[in-house]
């Protein structure tokens, strides 16, 4: 369905085409009807409106020139336009039956720019006077953008109000404080867990197990590569602190390693704690960077009067 304004716009297009170039109203309206899929009601409405517009324009011109105001012109005829379209449709069916393959090469028609039609009726629309003004945005989304999409945040900062950036900055500062506390907690947990594992390695070595034997046990246990490297590094540090020689492995070729030994299970759990602490630290660094960027943008926005 078309609005009253759109139908008036079609009528003005037909009237202008007639007044400027002499193209019959029926031809222009028929063309519009084909392109826009007018109903019979649409055709009658556009034809009546076009006749009114042309008549008014010709009367105005006649009065201005001092000629006979009883103007005459070829009126738009809704019935004739409908008959013409029915004939077109039948011809189209006949053509389609004999040359359907050509449809694959037919360019699709361009949709009507209805905004342009309204412009032709009411004149060009005024530009939005606030289009260039800074915008208020959701501070939570803006804070997330500073953390996850640094380049996007940097690109839009100059178009955002200082109030929005300030609220995002407060959110980021709160998150940074929480992240710093979490990092401290995770670091303490990591230190405690690693110290506990060191003590177990320390006691194992003092019980007479050579570093070489402990290393061979680690390799034979089939541990995760990261866990194995981590435990081996602790064995090296602990053995060095005890001034122990590497020695020889006492583990025979047929020996079976107990992979459920507390040393190995504890090593795996400690590594998870270390990974968590590392993740917390990286998150804290990201938030610190986001806070710096938001603070810089806030100062620029405030000083610029946004």
HSE, side-chain direction, 13 A CA sphere, residue 189: 17
pLDDT (0 to 100) of residue 288: 92
pLDDT (0 to 100) of residue 295: 92
160 strand-pairing partners:
135
With a cut of 50, say whether residue 128 has pLDDT above it.
no
pLDDT (0 to 100) of residue 130: 47
Residues 203-225 have pLDDT tens digits of: 888 888 888 888 888 877 777 78
Closest CA to 76 of 121, 14, 2: 14
With a cut of 50, say whether residue 75 has pLDDT above it.
yes
63 falls in which pLDDT band (50, 70, 90)? confident
pLDDT (0 to 100) of residue 215: 82
Report pTM: 0.47
pLDDT (0 to 100) of residue 258: 67
Under a CB-based contact definition with an 8 Å cutoff, are residues 20 and 62 in contact? no
For 189, other C-beta atoms within 10 Å of its C-beta total 15
For residues 234-253, average pLDDT: 82
The first and second tokens of residue 213, run together, are 């034997």
For residues 72-84, average pLDDT: 88
Q: What is the spatial distance between Cα 175 and Cα 182, in angstroms, rounded to a whole number?
A: 10
End-to-end CA distance of the chain: 44
259 falls in which pLDDT band (50, 70, 90)? low
More confidently predicted of 299 and 266: 299
Residues in CB range of 149: below 8 A, 6 or more apart:
none
120 falls in which pLDDT band (50, 70, 90)? low
The first and second tokens of residue 88, run together, are 């077109």
Closest CA to 270 of 214, 208, 200: 200
With a cut of 80, say whether residue 267 has pLDDT above it.
no
Q: What is the spatial distance between Cα 258 and Cα 236, in angstroms, rounded to a whole number?
A: 21
pLDDT (0 to 100) of residue 69: 74
Cβ-count burial 53-88 (b if 16+ within 10 Å, e if not): bbeebbeeeeeeeeeeeeeeeebbbbeebbebbeee
pLDDT (0 to 100) of residue 52: 92
3-class state of residue 57 by DSSP: helix
With a cut of 60, say whether residue 117 has pLDDT above it.
no
Q: What is the spatial distance between Cα 98 and Cα 49, in angstroms, rounded to a whole number?
A: 39
With a cut of 60, say whether residue 165 has pLDDT above it.
yes
Question: No. of H helices and E strands in the chain?
Answer: 11, 0
Judge residue 142's burial from the number of C-beta atoms within 10 Å of its C-beta, 0-12 exposed, 13-18 middle, 19 or more buried.
Answer: buried
Closest CA to 243 of 268, 206, 197: 206
Residues 4-44 have pLDDT tens digits of: 888 899 999 999 999 998 999 999 999 999 898 888 889 99
């Amino acid at each position: 369905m078309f609005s009253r304004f759109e139908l008036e716009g079609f009528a003005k297009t037909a009237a202008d085409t007639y007044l400027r170039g002499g193209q019959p109203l029926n031809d222009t309206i028929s063309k519009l009807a084909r392109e826009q899929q007018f109903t019979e009601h649409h055709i009658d409405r556009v034809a009546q409106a076009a006749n009114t517009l042309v008549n008014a324009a010709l009367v105005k011109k006649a009065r201005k020139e001092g000629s006979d105001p009883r103007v005459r012109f070829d009126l738009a005829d809704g019935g004739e336009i409908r008959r013409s379209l029915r004939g077109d449709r039948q011809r189209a069916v006949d053509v389609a039956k004999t040359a359907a393959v050509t449809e694959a090469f037919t360019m699709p028609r361009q949709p009507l720019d209805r905004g342009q039609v309204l412009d032709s009726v009411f004149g060009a629309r005024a530009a939005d006077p606030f289009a260039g003004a800074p915008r208020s945005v959701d501070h939570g989304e803006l804070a997330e953008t500073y953390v996850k999409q640094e380049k996007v945040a940097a690109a839009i900062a100059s178009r955002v109000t200082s109030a929005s950036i300030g609220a995002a900055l407060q959110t980021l500062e709160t998150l940074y404080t929480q992240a710093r506390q979490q990092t401290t907690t995770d670091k303490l947990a990591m230190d405690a867990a690693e110290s506990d594992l060191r003590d177990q390695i320390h006691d194992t070595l003092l019980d007479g197990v050579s570093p070489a034997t402990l290393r061979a046990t680690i390799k034979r246990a089939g541990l995760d590569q990261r866990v194995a490297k981590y435990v081996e590094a602790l064995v090296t540090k602990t053995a060095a602190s005890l001034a122990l020689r590497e020695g020889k492995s006492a583990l025979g070729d047929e020996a079976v390693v107990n992979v459920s030994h507390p040393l190995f299970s504890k090593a795996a759990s400690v590594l998870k704690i270390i990974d968590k602490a590392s993740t917390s630290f990286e998150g804290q660094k990201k938030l610190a960077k986001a806070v710096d960027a938001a603070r810089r943008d806030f100062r620029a926005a405030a000083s610029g009067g946004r």
